């Protein structure tokens, strides 16, 4: 859930600058809408009406909850592809684009499986997992259409909920801007996903609270505050809604590979240049391994994300820190580079070691998880100090960021001076921790205290068995 910050004012007072015009509507796309128009009070009502009209029109075309929608009629074979409304064709094409971009983690092909889960929820009966898996894999095997729009086939029904709200937000904003051409800023929020254009009357950017996905409760303090200007933001997670069967509470998000609700999956908040992109990425990041999802976001121009594992551990993309509100975060001190060595051990049955690198406060509290090598939770637990901080309560999150083990050699990684949430850490004393363990070998844990801010001379430590030379140096570039 994302909450826009602003005053709820209706009309400007005489002699004062024009106040933002704000409205709230219930029952919009099955949830609530909040809209704000700044700088064009005379045409604000036109902008609201235009946005609501566009939302209603597109819902009529894209909803899978309405039997008379264009998409439902297409799914039922009652509407030919060449007669699809432009919006439906556009959304289905985007669905296939994001399916390719995410290697299948995002999919709009799951309508038939979603219908089975809704029926299972109504019947209080868990469906047969192997049947769903076969169906899911058959759907994934269907070749993409040359023009991006697939004809419904046996078992293939489209459900576009993972992108439709964002697409509708973009179109509603465009209509509102045309209706209020003198507006300096417009905000449209539907159920927590929102698009922002321009800036509010009393500020240079929109300030938005990002709610804690582990505690999706109104009026709870957020886990971050971001500044947006002509951008969109979307969130996706598994705690706010889902299927209840017996005593089991299951996520509403299905794994496209086996048609089963995801377990121990992360939540994601995404900022992007448009709402459709933010919506699709937020959905995909709850399915993808955390490391792969962050890498995808970093490849997309203007995108940033904060992914929070099921255990509540945050992982920020490269651009996320720059989106944080300047009042909530300062520039970090000089970042550091870390050179570490995996030594060669001339022994029988050599196995490449599992290894973790992270930053702690002097009192042992974790600051930032930097590096994990090893992709099996059984052996990751052989790194006891790291396991207590990160792995024990979050094995799925740990595996989501872990990389394959590496051969002996010299390696370098960087710490940008920020914590796991992307907040800059103040100057002070910290500890670099490196821990390694090897099957049929030993275990080693090195602590290298260092100052952040002020000092510039490299610091060194030498391991004895599973860790070789360790150097921390300050990046002056």
The answer to whether residue 1 scores a pLDDT higher than 50 is no
Exposed/middle/buried for residue 400 (C-beta within 10 Å: 0-12, 13-18, 19+): buried
Sorted by sequence, the CB contacts under 8 Å of residue 24 that are 6+ apart come out as 32, 33, 34, 35
Look over the chain and give the mean of its residue pLDDT values, rounded to a whole number.
86
What CATH number does the domain containing 47 carry?
Answer: 3.10.520.10
* Domain termination residue (choose one: 296, 329, 362): 329
* Domain termination residue (choose one: 303, 329, 355): 329
Same domain, residue pair 381 and 255 = no
Tell which residue, 46, 80, 246, has the closest CA to residue 149.
80
What average pLDDT does range 114-122 have in this prediction?
A: 91
* Domain termination residue (choose one: 329, 353, 378): 329
What average pLDDT does range 352-381 have in this prediction?
A: 86
The answer to whether residue 326 scores a pLDDT higher than 70 is no
pLDDT digit string, tens, across residues 157-200: 999 999 999 999 999 999 999 999 999 999 999 988 999 999 98
Same domain, residue pair 181 and 240 = yes
Same domain, residue pair 347 and 319 = no
pLDDT digit string, tens, across residues 94-106: 999 999 999 999 9
pLDDT band at 9; cut points 50, 70, 90: very low
Structure-token match 């377990």, residue found = 263
Q: In the chain, what percentage of residues exceed pLDDT 90?
A: 53
Return the number of other C-beta atoms located less than 10 Å from residue 277's C-beta: 24
Q: Are 167 and 283 in contact (CB under 8 A)?
A: no
pLDDT band at 374; cut points 50, 70, 90: confident
pLDDT score, position 400: 62
What average pLDDT does range 336-340 have in this prediction?
A: 93
The answer to whether residue 239 scores a pLDDT higher than 90 is no
pLDDT digit string, tens, across residues 133-167: 999 999 988 887 765 577 777 678 999 999 999 99
pLDDT digit string, tens, across residues 375-390: 666 677 788 888 887 7
Same domain, residue pair 392 and 377 = yes
pLDDT score, position 388: 82
Beta strands in 102-223, from DSSP E residues, in sequence order: 185-190, 193-198, 206-210
Tell which residue, 47, 86, 41, 28, has the closest CA to residue 172.
47
Quote the domain boundaries for residue 400. 336-474
| Structural domains in the chain (count) | 2
pLDDT band at 12; cut points 50, 70, 90: very low
């Amino acid at each position: 859930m994302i909450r826009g910050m602003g005053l709820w004012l209706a009309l400007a007072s005489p002699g004062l600058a024009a106040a933002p015009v704000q409205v709230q509507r219930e029952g919009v796309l099955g949830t609530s809408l909040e809209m704000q128009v700044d700088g064009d009070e005379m045409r604000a009502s036109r902008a609201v009406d235009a946005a609501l009209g566009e939302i209603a029109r597109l819902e009529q075309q894209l909803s899978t909850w309405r039997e008379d929608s264009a998409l439902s009629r297409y799914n039922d074979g009652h509407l030919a592809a060449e007669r699809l409304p432009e919006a439906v064709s556009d959304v289905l094409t985007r669905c296939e684009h994001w399916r390719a971009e995410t290697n299948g983690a995002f999919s709009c092909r799951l309508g038939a499986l979603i219908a089975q889960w809704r029926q299972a929820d109504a019947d209080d009966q868990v469906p047969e997992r192997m049947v769903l898996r076969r169906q899911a894999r058959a759907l994934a095997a269907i070749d993409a259409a040359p023009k991006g729009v697939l004809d419904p086939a046996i078992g293939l029904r489209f459900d576009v909920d993972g992108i439709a709200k964002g697409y509708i937000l973009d179109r509603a904003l465009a209509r509102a801007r045309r209706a209020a051409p003198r507006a300096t800023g417009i905000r449209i929020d539907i159920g927590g996903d929102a698009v922002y254009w321009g800036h509010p009357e009393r500020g240079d950017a929109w300030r938005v609270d990002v709610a804690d996905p582990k505690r999706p409760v109104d009026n709870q303090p957020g886990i971050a505050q971001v500044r947006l200007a002509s951008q969109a933001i979307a969130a996706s997670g598994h705690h706010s809604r889902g299927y209840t069967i017996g005593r089991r509470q299951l996520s509403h998000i299905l794994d496209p590979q086996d048609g089963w609700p995801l377990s121990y999956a992360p939540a994601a908040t995404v900022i992007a240049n448009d709402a459709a992109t933010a919506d699709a990425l937020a959905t995909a990041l709850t399915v993808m391994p955390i490391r792969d999802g962050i890498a995808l976001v970093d490849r997309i121009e203007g995108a940033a994300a904060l992914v929070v594992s099921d255990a509540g551990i945050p992982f920020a993309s490269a651009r996320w820190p720059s989106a944080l509100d300047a009042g909530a975060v300062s520039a970090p001190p000089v970042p550091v580079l870390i050179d570490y060595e995996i030594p060669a051990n001339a022994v029988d049955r050599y196995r490449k070691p599992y290894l973790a690198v992270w930053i702690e406060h002097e009192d042992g509290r974790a600051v930032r998880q930097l590096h994990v090598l090893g992709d099996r939770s059984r052996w990751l637990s052989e790194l006891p100090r790291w396991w207590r901080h990160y792995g024990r309560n979050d094995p799925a999150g740990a595996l989501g960021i872990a990389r394959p083990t590496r051969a002996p050699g010299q390696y370098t990684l960087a710490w940008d001076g920020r914590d796991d949430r992307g907040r800059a850490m103040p100057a002070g004393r910290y500890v670099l921790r490196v821990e390694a363990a090897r099957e049929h070998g030993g275990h080693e844990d090195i602590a290298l205290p260092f100052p952040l801010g002020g000092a510039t001379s490299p610091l060194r430590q030498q391991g004895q068995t599973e860790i070789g030379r360790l150097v921390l140096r300050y990046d002056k570039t």
